[in-house]
Structure 1
Amino acid sequence: MDIGQKIRDLRIRKNLTQEELGERTDLSKGYISQLEHNQSSPSMETFFDILNVLGQTPADFFNDAAPSQLVYRQADQTVYDDDEKGYSLRWLVPESNENEMEPVLITFEPDGTFKTFEPSPAETFIYVVSGQISLQLGEDEYIAKRGETIYFHATKQHQIHNHSTGKSVCILVATASYL
């Protein structure tokens, strides 16, 4: 196991610079760099301080479990059809609601409407694969057609629906527990 590389990966995942990690652990940026390049070894106390700032337990840090799944086949995906509202929702990554991002494929029938969402801290990205999608964000409406994207912070009540006379398909990726 490359301890320095693992510290570096965790630091980057926490969106910290070497200097910020050093400040939070009373270490210098240079020392953090030496640790990440395996040019120095920390004391146990220093190592535990670093892990604490990085949100890791020693058991988690040294767990060499098999890498998580990276490729998800269609058979891994889950589909939910709402005939009443006229849409089909396909979770592209199983259990993605436990991750920071949740990607789904939504197929809308003509006049199909997805549920209404209350304001939240989520960020949402929508890519229109075919047709046209309308986003009602608070009092404003935004329309995107095939090949266009919508990106917004979900700070207002919002809802998406099919804005074309035929079927529309979009890929939606949201942070937090959006869906």
Structure 2
Amino acid sequence: MRIGEKLRKLRLSRGLTQEELAERTDLSRSFISQLESDKTSPSIDTLERILEALGTDLKHFFSDVEEERIVFKKEERVPVYDEPEGVKSEILMSGVEDKEIDPILVTLEPGAQTEEESYHEGSEFGFVIQGRIDLYLDGKRYRLKEGDCFYYKADKKHYVKNPGKKKAVLLWIMID
């Protein structure tokens, strides 16, 4: 079995670039590239970390049988690595090969903000669960409080910031 080819197909099925996978796993893009071209082999720990970021595990990766996932437990959430200080993000659905949404739970400490994302395809939806946030789209600020939500096409530079003095929690969904 060519692990690299299978990893590449899995990554592409998730709509991720090598760089995005590298960020989620705290590995280098060049290492991901070498893995996918079968020029190197990962340790079991590294493979498990990559598979977790891709929403699966060793058992499902090496199995040809796929079951539909209905329930996603809190303890199965995948942390997003390399977030700015004061920002904690968790991917809520793991083990889903062909999902068209990518829901993330984002927690922002007071004053913290996410990294600015460049233009990309798709749309994004957010719901403020707790606190307040400022949403910035191409430099324009939108203020939201607990219970408010947003939706926009991702053809704008965007990020969120917690302007408050209390923690903010946001459900952020990227839609293909």
Same structural fold, with TM-score higher than 0.5 when normalized by the shorter chain: yes
Q: 1:139, CA displacement in angstroms?
A: 2.6
Matched, 1:71 2:71: yes
Alignment coverage as a number of residue pairs: 112
Which residue identity is paired with 2:100?
Answer: E
1:20-169 to 2 correspondences below 5 Å: 67-80=67-80, 84-95=84-95, 99-169=99-169
Identify if the C-alpha distance between structure 1 residues 154 and 100 changes in structure 2 by more than 3 Å, giving closer, same or farther: same
Identify if the C-alpha distance between structure 1 residues 83 and 166 changes in structure 2 by more than 3 Å, giving closer, same or farther: farther
Q: 1:95, CA displacement in angstroms?
A: 4.9
User: Distance in 2 between the 1:167 and 1:83 partners?
Assistant: 16
Identify if the C-alpha distance between structure 1 residues 175 and 84 changes in structure 2 by more than 3 Å, giving closer, same or farther: closer
Q: 1:119, CA displacement in angstroms?
A: 1.0
2:10 is matched with which residue?
Answer: none
User: Distance in 2 between the 1:166 and 1:76 partners?
Assistant: 27
After superposition, give the CA deviation of every residue in 1:71-120 in whole Å (9 maximum; x if it has no partner): 01112111236574311101100156852100010000111111111112
User: Distance in 2 between the 1:78 and 1:119 partners?
Assistant: 24
After superposition, give the CA deviation of every residue in 1:32-75 in whole Å (9 maximum; x if it has no partner): xxxxxxxxxxxxxxxxxxxxxxxxxxxxxxxxx66411101112
Which residue identity is paired with 1:120?
Answer: H
Once the two structures are aligned, what percentage of the paired residues are identical? 23
Q: CA RMSD in A?
A: 2.1
The alignment's TM-score, normalised by the length of structure 2, stands at 0.58
Instruction: Give unmatched runs, 5+ long, in structure 1.
Output: 1-64
Deviates more, 1:77-86 or 1:126-135: 77-86
Which residue identity is paired with 2:138?
Answer: G
Which residue identity is paired with 2:109?
Answer: E
Contact kept in structure 1, 2:91 and 2:104, CA below 8 Å: yes
Q: 1:169, CA displacement in angstroms?
A: 0.2
Contact kept in structure 2, 1:96 and 1:103, CA below 8 Å: no
Q: 1:149, CA displacement in angstroms?
A: 0.3
| Structure with the greater alpha carbon radius of gyration | 1
The alignment's TM-score, normalised by the length of structure 1, stands at 0.57
